[in-house]
């Protein structure tokens, strides 16, 4: 089996080029919430740090006076920043240095000093944990709904199949939406005609289904230590995209009836499986735009819709470890191979 190849999409490239200058609002923003000792950590101390094997590095390897600020400011700031990038994109070295120096103006970091090796590894761990928790939350939330609503395995499989959508060309899958009419899938003609005098199959609340909202709440919980004025003004497009992909993964496995999701390469919530990648089809490689198509759709969201999406997620942000799912779980998603226009019948309230 030939391993999947990484594809750098236009969306990710654009995000990389446009986000780099938005790491912190000013030189006072991030570090204003950090309580550190007055003693400066000098470059000579940095250079004197004894380097370990990179995999063995932990927060304990930071200078002691940086530990509190690392937990309360730097780590949430990294997650805040990464949440605005592509779902599988990581910060560049310059981003890491900039965010660190915003949080620790008296503890300057450079990519050339020994401390950077520790910090960059901890950044990798922070992002990995962030993605892992979102994947775990999506599975837990979906399982809670399925098991509380259906006693039999075949009923749970049927429900997951319906939520995911049974047609690979279907661009109006239920699991995106907060309301999907009375649970009966609308016809293509109904969607295109937009017959508003009927509630049968009406789509409302895009990306506001309970399972997506609960998964996105994981991100909001992770950055909750940062005061609003210290957060980036950008919408968390990457965090929302990652939430959708995490839910899609949970539904894809629930549809098979396999439980729990196997701890194999195929079961991983990884870029190779859920990011843009190549696959062999009819003797040639074709691009599967699993992530960039979702990012493209998210880019069409209006300010009103973002306000509703974030408000829905905030309901669950303080209950991240105890996801609550109602009896009726609804939502929708984008097709891998093509884009679509947003369908959302919210009245704008």
**Whether residue 57 is found in the same domain as residue 145:** no
Given pLDDT bands bounded at 50, 70 and 90, which one contains residue 323?
Answer: very low
Would you state the pLDDT for residue 274?
Answer: 92
Average pLDDT on 39-66 reads 65
What are residue 289's phi and psi, to 5 degrees? -90, 60
66-70, 81-85, 164-168, 171-175: the lowest-pLDDT one:
164-168
Average pLDDT on 181-187 reads 50
pLDDT per residue over 245-304, tens digit each? 999 999 999 999 988 998 999 999 999 999 988 888 888 998 888 888 888 889 999 999
198 pLDDT above the threshold of 80: no
322 pLDDT above the threshold of 80: no
What are residue 301's phi and psi, to 5 degrees? -65, 140
**Whether residue 300 is found in the same domain as residue 156:** yes
**Whether residue 80 is found in the same domain as residue 204:** no
Would you state the pLDDT for residue 69?
Answer: 93
d(CA 239, CA 213): 11
What are residue 180's phi and psi, to 5 degrees? -130, 60
Would you state the pLDDT for residue 289?
Answer: 82
Would you state the pLDDT for residue 331?
Answer: 35
Q: Which residue has the higher pLDDT, 334 or 225?
A: 225
118 pLDDT above the threshold of 50: yes
**Whether residue 210 is found in the same domain as residue 292:** yes
SS (H, E, C) the chain: CCCCCECCCHHHHHHHHHHHHHCCCCCCCHHHHCCCCCCCCCHHHHHCCCCCCHHHCCHHHCCHHHHHHHHHHHHHHHHHHHCCCCCCCCCCHHHHHHHHHHHCCCCCCCCCCHHHHHHHHHHHHHHHHHHHHHHHHHHHHHHHHHHHHCCCHHHHHHHHHHHHCCCCCCCCCCECEEEECCCCCCCHHHHHHCCCCCCCCCEEEECCCHHHHHHHHHHHHHCCCCCHHHCCCCCCHHHHHHHHHHHHHHHHHHHHCCCCCCCCHHHCCCHHHHCCEEEEECCEEEEECCCHHHHHHHCCCCHHHHHHHHHHHHCCHHHCCCCCCCCCCCECCCCCCCCCCCCCCCCCC
Structural domain includes residue 339: no
81 pLDDT above the threshold of 50: yes
**Whether residue 238 is found in the same domain as residue 296:** yes
Q: Which of 129, 150, 178 is the last residue of a domain?
A: 129
**Whether residue 109 is found in the same domain as residue 174:** no
Structural domain includes residue 22: yes
Q: Do residues 66 and 129 touch, judged by C-beta distance below 8 A?
A: no
pLDDT, averaged across the chain: 76
Structural domain includes residue 342: no
**Whether residue 124 is found in the same domain as residue 192:** no
Q: Which of 129, 164, 184 is the last residue of a domain?
A: 129
d(CA 283, CA 220): 43
**Whether residue 24 is found in the same domain as residue 40:** yes
Number of domains in the chain: 2
Average pLDDT on 5-23 reads 41
**Whether residue 137 is found in the same domain as residue 252:** yes
Structural domain includes residue 35: yes
Which residues, at least 6 apart from 243, have a Cβ–Cβ distance to it below 8 Å? Answer: 134, 138, 212, 215, 216, 218, 219
Give the structural domain span for 257: 132-319
Structural domain includes residue 191: yes
Average pLDDT on 190-218 reads 68
pTM of the model: 0.75
- Percentage of residues in the chain having pLDDT higher than 70: 68
pLDDT per residue over 119-144, tens digit each? 999 999 999 999 999 999 999 999 99
Total residue length of the chain = 349
Would you state the pLDDT for residue 85?
Answer: 96
Given pLDDT bands bounded at 50, 70 and 90, which one contains residue 338?
Answer: very low
**Whether residue 55 is found in the same domain as residue 123:** yes
Given pLDDT bands bounded at 50, 70 and 90, which one contains residue 201?
Answer: low
Give me the residues paired with residue 281 across strands: 284
Structural domain includes residue 240: yes
**Whether residue 168 is found in the same domain as residue 72:** no
**Whether residue 92 is found in the same domain as residue 238:** no
Q: Which of 67, 100, 129 is the last residue of a domain?
A: 129
Structural domain includes residue 325: no
Structural domain includes residue 125: yes
């Amino acid at each position: 089996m030939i391993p999947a190849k990484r594809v750098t999409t236009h969306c990710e490239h654009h995000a990389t080029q446009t986000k780099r200058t938005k790491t912190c609002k000013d030189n006072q923003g991030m570090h204003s919430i950090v309580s550190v000792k007055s003693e400066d950590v000098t470059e000579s101390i940095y250079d004197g740090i004894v380097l370990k094997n990179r995999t063995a590095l932990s927060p304990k390897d930071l200078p002691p006076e940086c530990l509190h600020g690392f937990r309360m400011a730097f780590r949430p700031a990294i997650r805040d920043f990464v949440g605005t990038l592509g779902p599988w994109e990581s910060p560049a070295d310059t981003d890491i240095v900039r965010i660190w120096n915003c949080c620790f103006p008296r503890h300057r970091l450079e990519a050339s000093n020994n401390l950077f090796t520790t910090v960059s590894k901890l950044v990798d761990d922070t992002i990995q944990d962030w993605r892992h928790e979102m994947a775990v939350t999506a599975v837990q939330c979906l399982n809670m709904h399925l098991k509380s609503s259906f006693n039999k395995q075949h009923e749970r499989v049927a429900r997951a199949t319906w939520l995911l959508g049974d047609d690979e060309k279907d661009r109006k899958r239920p699991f995106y939406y907060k309301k999907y009419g009375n649970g009966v899938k609308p016809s293509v003609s109904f969607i295109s005609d937009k017959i508003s005098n009927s509630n049968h199959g009406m789509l409302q609340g895009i990306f506001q289904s309970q399972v997506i909202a609960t998964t996105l709440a994981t991100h909001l919980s992770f950055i909750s230590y940062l005061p609003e004025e210290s957060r980036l003004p950008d919408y968390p497009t990457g965090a929302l995209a990652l939430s959708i992909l995490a839910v899609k993964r949970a539904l894809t496995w629930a549809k098979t009836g396999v439980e729990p999701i196997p701890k194999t390469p195929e079961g991983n919530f990884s870029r190779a499986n859920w990011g843009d990648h190549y696959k062999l089809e009819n003797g040639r490689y074709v691009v599967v735009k699993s992530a960039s198509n979702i990012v493209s759709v998210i880019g069409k969201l209006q300010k009103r819709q973002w306000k509703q999406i974030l408000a829905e997620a905030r309901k669950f942000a303080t209950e991240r470890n105890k996801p609550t799912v109602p009896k009726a779980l609804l939502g929708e998603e984008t097709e891998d191979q093509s884009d679509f226009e947003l369908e959302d019948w919210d009245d704008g309230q």
